């Protein structure tokens, strides 16, 4: 079932439970997959790289955001890509490296903004996981890029406690709406994300 909350955002669930199946579809359905991560050695990151093959680029979150955007733009040009799958670590991994969902939202927004100023992006998609996936959807919505969140069956997300929880599309929309408010506040107060634990979202991951 596909639910459209706005012309720019679609949320869809894979018919098969678990993360693997939707990871394969997201990677295979995009012209390019970008992995934004602090740890590229996790099982999820290895699967994403394998699924995307040569249509893959890894950008560490230690890279300055605008520089990351230029690296991404160059890869989009190289592959003639107009559709982008945003992947990377979940918040349970990123938190171990000092990131909050809000800070990774800001970093990925700044990176994607820089990239799409150089190369048009027609569609952004992700698996909807906490961390980088969710930040990709937030960035797309803020930049008015059509976005597809393609989740595991049950719209599963894994929280800071590494517990998988089923969501509803409405709950996910609430997440994204809340993070858009936080992102806009951050953009008003700073031009660089802070890589530290700070104010957390009130959403219970």
How confident is the model over 105-160, as pLDDT tens digits? Answer: 999 999 999 999 999 999 999 999 999 999 999 999 999 999 999 999 999 999 99
Q: Please count the structural domains in the chain.
A: 1
Domain housing 157: 15-189
Q: Which two tokens stand for residue 112?
A: 């994607």
Q: Is residue 112 part of a domain?
A: yes
Q: How far apart are CA 179 and CA 163, in angstroms?
A: 21
Q: Is residue 63 part of a domain?
A: yes
Q: Which two tokens stand for residue 205?
A: 């991951």
pLDDT bucket at 199, cuts 50 / 70 / 90: very low
pLDDT bucket at 193, cuts 50 / 70 / 90: low
CATH code assigned at 25: 3.40.50
pTM for this one? 0.90
Q: Is residue 10 part of a domain?
A: no
String of b and e for 74-107 (b: at least 16 CB within 10 Å)?
ebbeebebebbbbbbbbbbbbbeeebbbbbbbbb
Q: Is residue 198 part of a domain?
A: no
Q: Is residue 62 part of a domain?
A: yes
Q: Is residue 205 part of a domain?
A: no
Q: Is residue 68 part of a domain?
A: yes
Q: Is residue 138 part of a domain?
A: yes
């Amino acid at each position: 079932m596909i639910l459209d909350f706005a012309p720019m955002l679609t949320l869809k669930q894979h018919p098969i439970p678990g993360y693997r199946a939707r990871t394969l579809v997201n990677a295979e359905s995009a012209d390019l997959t970008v992995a934004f991560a602090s740890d590229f050695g996790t099982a999820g990151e290895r699967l994403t790289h394998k699924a995307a093959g040569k249509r893959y680029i890894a950008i560490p979150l230690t890279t300055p955001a605008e520089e990351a955007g230029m690296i991404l733009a160059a890869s989009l040009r190289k592959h003639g890509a107009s559709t982008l799958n945003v992947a990377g670590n979940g918040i349970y991994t990123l938190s171990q490296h000092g990131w909050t969902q809000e800070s990774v939202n800001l970093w990925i927004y700044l990176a994607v903004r820089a990239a799409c100023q150089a190369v048009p992006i027609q569609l952004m998609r992700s698996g909807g996981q906490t961390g980088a996936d969710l930040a990709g959807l937030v960035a797309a919505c803020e930049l008015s890029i059509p976005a597809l969140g393609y989740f595991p069956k049950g719209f599963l997300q894994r929280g800071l406690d590494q517990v998988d929880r089923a969501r509803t599309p409405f709950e996910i929309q609430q997440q994204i709406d809340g993070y858009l408010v936080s992102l806009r506040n951050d953009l008003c107060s700073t031009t660089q994300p802070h890589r530290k634990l700070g104010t957390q979202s009130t959403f219970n991951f």
